[in-house]
C-alpha cells in the first residue's frame, strides 16, 4: 500500500516539554494526531507482519514493526536531540547526539482482552536518543483497562508510579535511558523510567512506539 501523509500537530513550547522530562521523565503531547488520522494510521500499520509479544518477553499481545508514512515525525528529532545532549553534558559524557537524525523504528502494539505489556525500561542502545514517543491510536471508549503505567526508579528511594491518561491521538515522550537528577543534597544520579501497559479487560487497544536515531559512529 502506498504511504500517505500523516501530519502531526507539532508542539510549540519545547521549554515546558524539556522541564517535564527533566523533572518527571515524561511529557504529554496532547492532540499530536487528529483522532481520524490516528485511526487511519493504526489501520494502515496493522497490515504489516505481526509477532507475539510473548516471544520478546514483553508481555502478551501482538506487535507490528512497520515504517511510518511520510509526515513530520522526523521534526521531533532536533529538539529531542538537544535535550539528550544537555543530559550528556550533565553526566560529563563527551558523546553528542546528531540533531539532523530521523526516526529509527516504529512498533505498533495491538492488545486484546487479557493482553498487557510488562514494565520495561526501553532500549538502552547508546546509538538511539534516550527519549521515545508513545501514541494512542485507538479510542479509549473502544477498550477498558490498558492504562499506560510508568514507574521511576531512584537510588536508595522508593519508586514513583504514574498512570498516564491518553485520548486517541495523544502522545507522550518517555525517557527510556538514564536521565540526570539531583537529590536534596545536590548529588547527581541517574533516574530510570520504566513503562508498561496494564491488562486490557475488554476491546482492543492499539498504540505506537517510536524511537529516534542518536549518535553517529565516528
Lowest mean pLDDT among 12-26, 99-113, 152-166: 152-166
> What confidence category does residue 101 fall into, taking pLDDT thresholds of 50, 70 and 90?
confident
Q: Does domain 14-212 have CATH number 1.20.1260.10?
A: no
Per domain, the residue ranges of the chain are: 14-212
Check residues 48 and 163 and name the one with the higher pLDDT: 163
Look up residue 99 and give its three cell numbers.
Answer: 540533531
**pLDDT at 71 (0 to 100):** 63
Is the pLDDT at 161 greater than 90? The verdict is yes
CB 126 within 8 A of CB 95: yes
Whether 79 shows a pLDDT value over 90: the answer reads yes
- The enclosing H or E element of 81 equals helix 77-90
Cell of 62: 501482538
pLDDT tens-digit map of 119-136:
988 777 778 899 999 999
Percent of the chain with pLDDT over 70: 93
For the whole model, what pTM was predicted?
Answer: 0.92
For 188-207, the pLDDT digits (tens) are: 888 889 999 999 999 999 99
145 contacts 198 by C-beta, under 8 angstroms: yes
Give the pLDDT band of residue 1 (cuts 50, 70, 90). very low
Give me the long-range contacts of 152-157 (CB less than 8 A, separation at least 24): 152/24, 152/25, 152/191, 152/192, 152/193, 152/194, 153/191, 153/192, 153/193, 153/194, 154/181, 154/189, 154/191, 155/189
Q: What percent of the chain has pLDDT over 90?
A: 62
Query: Please, are residues 106 and 210 in contact by the beta-carbon 8 Å criterion?
Result: yes
Amino acid at each position: 500500500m502506498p504511504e500517505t501523509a500523516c501530519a502531526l500537530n507539532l508542539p510549540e513550547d519545547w521549554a515546558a516539554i524539556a522541564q517535564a522530562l527533566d523533572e518527571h521523565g515524561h511529557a504529554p503531547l496532547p492532540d499530536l494526531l487528529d483522532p481520524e488520522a490516528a485511526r487511519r494510521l493504526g489501520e494502515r500499520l496493522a497490515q504489516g507482519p505481526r509477532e507475539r509479544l510473548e516471544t520478546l518477553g514483553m508481555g502478551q499481545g501482538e506487535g507490528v514493526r512497520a515504517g511510518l508514512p511520510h509526515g513530520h515525525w522526523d521534526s521531533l528529532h532536533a529538539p529531542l536531540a538537544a535535550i539528550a545532549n544537555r543530559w550528556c553534558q550533565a553526566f560529563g559524557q563527551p558523546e553528542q547526539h546528531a540533531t539532523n537524525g530521523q526516526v529509527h523504528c516504529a512498533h505498533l502494539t495491538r492488545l486484546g482482552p487479557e493482553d498487557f505489556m510488562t514494565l520495561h525500561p526501553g532500549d538502552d542502545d547508546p546509538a538511539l536518543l534516550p527519549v521515545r514517543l508513545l501514541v494512542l491510536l485507538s479510542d479509549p471508549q473502544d477498550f477498558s483497562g490498558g492504562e499506560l503505567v510508568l514507574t521511576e526508579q531512584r537510588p536508595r528511594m522508593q519508586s514513583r508510579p504514574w498512570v498516564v491518561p491518553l485520548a486517541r491521538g495523544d502522545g507522550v515522550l518517555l525517557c527510556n535511558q538514564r536521565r540526570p537528577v539531583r537529590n536534596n543534597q545536590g548529588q547527581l544520579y541517574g533516574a530510570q523510567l520504566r513503562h508498561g501497559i496494564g491488562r486490557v479487560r475488554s476491546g482492543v487497544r492499539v498504540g505506537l512506539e517510536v524511537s529516534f536515531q542518536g549518535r553517529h559512529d565516528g
